[in-house]
Amino acid sequence: MEKKKEKKKVLILCYYWPPAGGPGVQRWLKFVKYLPDFDIEPIVYVPDGANYPLIDTKLEQEVSPEVTILRKTIKEPYSLAKKLMGQRAQTMSSGMIPQVRNQTKWDKLLLWIRGNMFIPDARVGWVKPSIDYLNTYLEQHPEIETIITTGPPHSIHLIGLGLKKKRKIKWVADFRDPWTTIGYHKELKLSHKAKEKHLALEKEVLTTADQLIVTSKTTSKEFRTKTAKPIAIITNGYDVAHLGKIPLDEKFTLAHIGSFLSNRNPRVLWKAISELRRENKAFKAAFELKLIGKISDEILHTLAEFKLLECTDNRGYVDNEEALRQMRASQVLLLVEIDSDDTKAIIPGKLFEYMAAERPILAIGPEESDFFEIVQQTNVGRNALYSEKDKISEILLQYFEQYQNNQLRVHAMGLQYFGRKRLTERLVSVLNGDGK
């Protein structure tokens, strides 16, 4: 009788894990789901008592009972901040940083404390106890030869760094976003000393890890100037969702699904929609802006300024399954990234679920954005810059005319390369030594 092949074990260190909601949890939840299909047994280390800004308990159903989950209590300053400052602190912890002109003195204080007293982030207090706990665990389980850390929060990488210093083990560091060049760093009111400490920690992680994984070409290019270690690009992706047939919205809906941050406020889009509603009676009668997720006050104030609240359906946060349903029901999907050179490397996780929904996308972002290339290559929508109001209007009118003629659809190409199982196969090849 043929002996059953023994699975290779890897230890995966995550902060975001069910019941956490939002995009941060999806990447490794899906990798863990499919790794056993490639003879790899994942062991997942996550915080116990984390202060997650978004909760989606349905995601717990996707975690196989056969997966070993290790938990260690985490104490987070956001819990104390919420007691002292209420919902304002919780909102900022979810990434909803108010624009400078709208920040109160308490906002500025909270940002300064976050940026200068908690480096690299507010989970840094979890680093030392995690190193101690996992070092003991690894001593007891010598069959584990590989650890994987995923950030942000980049404190998770410091746990990997600490373990690497203590023992001979392969360390793979996965960066879902850049570290020191990410846009919000400029909003944290960092002192010179704090900036230098971030750069030093980043360099130590990038040069000590055995393998780096990033999600975009731009981040790969940046990191290649900082380290000689192998860097693999593995984007985020989509999973097959069996939701049955979902009827399209009767209205001509433009839907943004996910958190809508202050700095992503596309005034050029709101102006284009306002003008189209004023000039085209049919467009005005049919158009609806559908917002699903946490929406910043600045976005809502701007919609009021352009008199668009009357055609806006603001549904708030929903769980992932309902978000997928709404994507498939919407006529057009809106993807917006901050208009800054710092965000060219950001490929929003929702892009891939948008692609799988097979509804046309209107993507707005900075020039040479990495996600523009994916939208164009897969033929799932059209791109526009913040400076291109006329182009945005032209895209919306083209989509609207197709909607009127019952011809609004996409003819996507190459989506299979972004399936979660296909991406897991790519991850396995990297774990097995193909680091490029």
How confident is the model at residue 242, as a pLDDT?
80
* Residue 189 scores a pLDDT above 80: no
172, 294, 302, 361 from 96: Cα distances, Å: 30, 9, 16, 24
Q: For residue 78, what pLDDT band results from cuts at 50, 70 and 90? A: low
Query: Domain check: are 19 and 155 in the same one?
Result: yes
**Which CATH number fits the domain that encloses residue 16?**
3.40.50.2000
What is the average pLDDT value for the chain, to the nearest integer? Answer: 90
Asked whether residue 3 is domain-assigned, the answer is no
How confident is the model at residue 99, as a pLDDT?
55
* Residue 83 scores a pLDDT above 50: no
Beta carbons within 8 Å of 53's beta carbon, 6+ residues apart? 22, 90, 93, 94, 95
How confident is the model at residue 137, as a pLDDT?
98
Asked whether residue 163 is domain-assigned, the answer is yes
Instruction: Kindly state the average pLDDT of the residues 70-91.
Output: 64
Number of structural domains, the chain? 2
CA gap 260, 336 in Å, rounded: 9
Q: For residue 34, what pLDDT band results from cuts at 50, 70 and 90? A: very high
How confident is the model at residue 138, as a pLDDT?
98
Query: Domain check: are 154 and 46 in the same one?
Result: yes
How confident is the model at residue 92, as a pLDDT?
45
Query: Domain check: are 404 and 424 in the same one?
Result: no
Query: Domain check: are 191 and 269 in the same one?
Result: no
339 versus 252: which is more confidently predicted?
252
130 versus 97: which is more confidently predicted?
130
Query: Domain check: are 297 and 392 in the same one?
Result: yes
pLDDT over 90 percentage in the chain: 75
Query: Domain check: are 199 and 231 in the same one?
Result: yes
* Residue 1 scores a pLDDT above 50: no
How confident is the model at residue 435, as a pLDDT?
56
Query: Domain check: are 426 and 406 in the same one?
Result: no
User: What range does the domain containing 346 cover?
Assistant: 252-415
Query: Domain check: are 311 and 362 in the same one?
Result: yes
Q: What SS3 string covers the chain? A: CCCCCCCEEEEEECCCCCCECCHHHHHHHHHHHHHHHHCEEEEEEEEECCCCCCECHHHHHHCCCCCEEEEEECCCHHHHHHHHHCHHHHHHHCCCCCCHHHCCHHHHHHHHHHHHHCCCCCCHHHHHHHHHHHHHHHHHCCCCCEEEEEECCCHHHHHHHHHHHHCCCEEEEEECCCCCCCHHHHHCCCCHHHHHHHHHHHHHHHHHCCEEEECCHHHHHHHHCCCCCCEEECCCCECCCCCCCCCCCCCEEEEEECCECHHHCCHHHHHHHHHHHHHCHHHHHHEEEEEECCECHHHHHHHHHCCCHHHEEEEECCCHHHHHHHHHHCCEEEEECCCCHHHCCCCCCHHHHHHHHCCCEEEEECCCCHHHHHHHHHCCEEEEECCCHHHHHHHHHHHHHHHHCCCCCCCCCCHHHHEHHHHHHHHHHHHCCCCC
How confident is the model at residue 102, as a pLDDT?
57
How confident is the model at residue 77, as a pLDDT?
78
How confident is the model at residue 23, as a pLDDT?
83
Beta carbons within 8 Å of 271's beta carbon, 6+ residues apart? 306, 389
87 versus 188: which is more confidently predicted?
188
Asked whether residue 243 is domain-assigned, the answer is no
* Residue 4 scores a pLDDT above 70: no
Q: For residue 106, what pLDDT band results from cuts at 50, 70 and 90? A: low
* Residue 232 scores a pLDDT above 90: yes
Instruction: Kindly state the average pLDDT of the residues 340-344.
Output: 85
How confident is the model at residue 76, as a pLDDT?
84
Asked whether residue 262 is domain-assigned, the answer is yes
Q: How many of the other CB atoms lie within 10 Å of CB of 65? A: 5
Asked whether residue 18 is domain-assigned, the answer is yes
Asked whether residue 214 is domain-assigned, the answer is yes
User: What tokens does 265 get?
Assistant: 């406020």
* Residue 218 scores a pLDDT above 50: yes
pLDDT in tens, 346-360: 898 899 999 999 999
Asked whether residue 187 is domain-assigned, the answer is yes
Query: Domain check: are 172 and 321 in the same one?
Result: no
Q: Which of the residue ranges 39-48, 96-105, 156-165 would you say has the lowest mean pLDDT?
A: 96-105
Query: Domain check: are 60 and 32 in the same one?
Result: yes
Asked whether residue 152 is domain-assigned, the answer is yes
* Residue 68 scores a pLDDT above 80: yes
Query: Domain check: are 219 and 272 in the same one?
Result: no
How confident is the model at residue 187, as a pLDDT?
72
Query: Domain check: are 426 and 411 in the same one?
Result: no
